[in-house]
Amino acid sequence: MKLITAFVRPDRLAAVKEALFKAGVQGITLSRVSGHGGQAAIHEQYRGSTFLVEFHEKVQLTIAVSDSFVGPTIDAIVRSARTGEVGDGKIFVQPLERVVRIRTGEEDGDALTPVGAPAAAPA
């Protein structure tokens, strides 16, 4: 299991979300964040004053996936978020030690299965 954290441009969010859903990824948490990376600071005017914008608006996606979904999840994000310009974002992948679904007590891979998904046939 992995925790994927991605930072993307806000204007690419709809495309990223659509690509993730098409890849079968359903559990996504979004946060509006701001940060500073490779993009240069810019000067803007507001009510006659000039100020320096050092932090840029981004959307943070946090997605817990089973190992088999890591590749498709990363591919979907990269394909849909890439503009080719500085500031497209970053993806971080970290191991998940344990996952527990609070409602049912299911753990790990079972806790990552979407609610309402068909149960796997017994082997």
Q: Please give the radius of gyration of the chain, using alpha carbons only, rounded to the nearest integer.
A: 18
Flag whether 98 is in a domain.
yes
Which structural domain range is residue 63 located in?
A: 2-111
Residue 100 maps to a domain: yes
Burial class (CB in 10 A: 0-12, 13-18, 19+), 8: buried
d(CA 72, CA 88): 19
Per-residue pLDDT of the chain (123 residues; tens, 9 = 90+): 999 999 999 999 999 999 999 999 988 999 999 888 767 667 777 788 877 777 889 999 999 999 989 999 999 999 999 999 988 999 999 999 999 999 999 998 888 866 444 444 444
CB 93 within 8 A of CB 2: yes
pTM metric for this prediction: 0.80
Strand partners, 35: 56
Is 117 among the domain residues?
no
Which CATH number does the domain housing residue 74 bear?
A: 3.30.70.120
CA distance 59 to 9: 6
